[in-house]
Amino acid sequence: MAKTVIIEQTGGPEVLKVVDRDVGAPGPGEIRIRHEACGLNFIDTYQRSGLYKLDLPHALGMEAAGIVDAVGEGVTHLAPGDRAAYAAMPPGAYAEARVMPATQVCPLPEAISFEEGAAMMLKGLTVQYLFHRTSPLGPGDTVLFHAAAGGVGLIACQWARSEGIRLIGTAGGPEKCRLAEEHGAEACIDYRSEDWVARVRELTDGKGVQAVMDGVGKDTFSGSLDCLAPLGMMMSFGNASGPVPPVDISQLAAKGSLKVTRPTLFTHIADHATCQEMGRMLMEKVGGGDVRIRIDQRFALDDVTEAHRALEARRTTGSTILTV
């Protein structure tokens, strides 16, 4: 039996329930993993609220780290006793232990702690595909990153710095802006007190940025288009403020032949070999010191309701984990 967080209906944080579930044995292509820590992400709130549909009842949670307890037939990249971490479908990471597909589970080097592993996989793999698999970016390019003081944002700030890419961030309040700049943002704009579109244009001498990386959604999408240079790429990868309304595609032509994509991590990591390659790059960035995983909030698994409230109220910085 393992303590597991489930929802039986969609709604606010109050619908989260902690129950005991039988774990069972892994089948072909599966592993059983005993978690040391679990990650908290905005996608979890989308699934809980019903924005992203799940068949109910369903366990929640998309990333965790721990020790492989057993492996099923056909699993060759992991063995019992291995340290491992993952961001993976289906949801179910908010648990003491689980049986799950092995495809998206990655070996975790000794140099990276279980807490770091649980906090970095979904966010770090997201940053990897934004910088390396979505649109060509390289030294000297400039990107705009919204919510730069959040878990994904702080990784992105450091990632950009490590590759000679200029990152301009936005965040809510001077403390969050300072945090983003400490982690590698060249500048961070306080959207509560500044016209961030005008400021981006000022910081780029009116030219705009090559790419916008936007996990906020509804509140920032339109302004983000106005920050792009001609032929720039809008990467809309999340909906923290709500889903983006329908877009008049002719506006992309009028604003400079812009490109727009709505990527998801799980499309990028669906292939086993690709997922493992992306995981290795992330772990090299963290293990080599280019990226430091900042964990600013820790909640016990039993306190998952309060963790969701804090995340949705934007009372968090860096990454948040659930301790098991």
Q: Which residues of the chain have pLDDT under 70?
A: none
Q: Are 188 and 180 in contact (CB under 8 A)?
A: yes
Residue with tokens 């920032």: 220
Task: Return the closest-CA partner of residue 301 out of 74, 12, 61, 15.
Answer: 61
Return all residues near 306 (Cβ < 8 A) that are at least 6 apart.
13, 299
User: Whole-structure pTM over 0.95, yes or no?
Assistant: no
In the prediction, which pLDDT does 102 show? 98
Task: Return the closest-CA partner of residue 170 out of 91, 157, 158, 162.
Answer: 157
Q: Per residue, what are the HEC states of 91-133? A: CCCCECEEEEECCCEEECCCCCCHHHHHHHHHHHHHHHHHHHC
CA-based R_g, the chain, Å: 19
Residue 292 CA to residue 146 CA, distance in Å, equals 19
CA atoms 228, 230, 235, 241: torsion sign: positive
Integer CA distances (angstroms), 240 to 33, 137, 142, 150, 219, in order: 30, 25, 23, 11, 9
Residues in the chain: 324
In the prediction, which pLDDT does 78 show? 98
Q: How big is the CA angle at 122 (ends 117 and 125), to the nearest 5 degrees?
A: 95
| pLDDT tens by residue, 263-319 | 999 999 999 999 999 999 999 999 999 999 999 999 999 999 999 999 999 888 889
State residue 319 phi and psi, 5-degree precision. -100, 155
In the prediction, which pLDDT does 318 show? 85
Task: Return the closest-CA partner of residue 171 out of 159, 184, 183, 153.
Answer: 153
Residue 66 CA to residue 78 CA, distance in Å, equals 12
Residue with tokens 């600013």: 296
In the prediction, which pLDDT does 241 show? 85
**Domains of the chain from N-terminus onward:** 2-122+266-323 (3.90.180.10), 135-262 (3.40.50.720)
Q: How big is the CA angle at 242 (ends 258 and 216), to the nearest 5 degrees?
A: 55
Give me 310's structure tokens.
């804090």
Q: Where are the alpha helices (DSSP H) in 133-248?
A: 151-162, 174-182, 196-203, 221-225
In the prediction, which pLDDT does 120 show? 96
State whether residue 283 is helix, strand or coil.
helix
